[in-house]
């Protein structure tokens, strides 16, 4: 991760979780998915940082918080290549690899306008599928697929 010699655009945290290599335009979706709006911890964000791989990337540092695998895997929907680093005493002690969960409950809106979940107060539910490496969400209700470029995050509950 960030070496001592490298200048940090977002200041280091002593303990907690760093979510790096988030595509810049997905930052706010990640914030929504993880519910950081209501998180009392100290959180620092960086957006539109230069990245060799992504062009522009975003980074989130949440102090004194570890995320459960189940929780963190949800962001694979919008930032599949994000790097999750667990920090202890300013050192990376664990790197987590994101895995798209088999089932997504809530979070995402079904792209089918005729799906019942878009008309009644129903929690959405999808099975994730990969077709030629492309992520698709198969709606448990209307049985239609929402492709990854059509993923809309539900912001209000």
Partner 1 sequence: MPKSLISIHDFTKEEMLHVLSIAQEFEKNKVQPILRDKVIATLFFEPSTRTRLSFETASNRLGARVIGFSDAGNTSVSKGETLKDTIKMVSNYVDLIVMRHPLEGAARYASEVASVPVINAGDGANQHPSQTMLDLYTINQTQGRLTDIKINMVGDLKYGRTVHSLLQAMSHFEPDFTFTAPDELMMPQEYKDFLNAKGIPYRETRELEGNINDCDILYMTRVQQERFTDPMEYEKVKNTYNLTASMLAGAKENMKILHPLPRVTEIAQDVDDTPHAYYFKQAENGVYVRMAIIAYLLGYK
- Which residues lie near partner 1 (CB under 8 A)? 110, 112, 114-117, 119-122, 131, 139-145
CB of 154 to partner 1, least distance (A): 16
The nearer residue to partner 1, 65 or 125, going by C-beta atoms, is: 125
The nearer residue to partner 1, 27 or 139, going by C-beta atoms, is: 139
CB of 70 to partner 1, least distance (A): 22
What's the rounded Cα separation, in Å, for the pair 41 and 10? 16
Report the 10 Å Cβ neighbour count for 154: 14
Query: b/e string for 54-73 if b means 16 or more Cβ within 10 A?
Result: beebbbbbbeebebeeeebb
**Residue 23: CA atoms inside 13 Å, Cβ hemisphere, count?**
10
CB of 77 to partner 1, least distance (A): 20
The nearer residue to partner 1, 41 or 147, going by C-beta atoms, is: 147
């Amino acid at each position: 991760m960030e070496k001592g010699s490298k200048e940090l655009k977002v200041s280091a945290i002593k303990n907690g979780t760093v979510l790096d290599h988030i595509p810049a335009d997905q930052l706010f979706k990640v914030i929504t998915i993880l519910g950081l709006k209501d998180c009392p911890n100290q959180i620092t964000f960086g957006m539109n940082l230069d990245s060799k791989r992504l062009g522009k990337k975003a980074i989130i540092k949440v102090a004194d918080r570890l995320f459960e695998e189940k929780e963190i895997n949800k962001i694979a929907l919008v930032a599949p290549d994000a790097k999750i680093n667990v920090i202890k005493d300013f050192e990376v002690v664990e790197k987590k690899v994101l895995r798209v969960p088999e089932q997504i409950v809530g979070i995402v809106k079904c792209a089918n306008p005729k799906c019942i979940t878009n008309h009644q107060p129903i929690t959405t539910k999808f099975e994730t599928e990969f077709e030629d490496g492309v992520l698709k969400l198969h709606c448990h209700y209307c049985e239609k697929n929402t492709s990854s470029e059509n993923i809309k995050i539900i912001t209000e509950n």
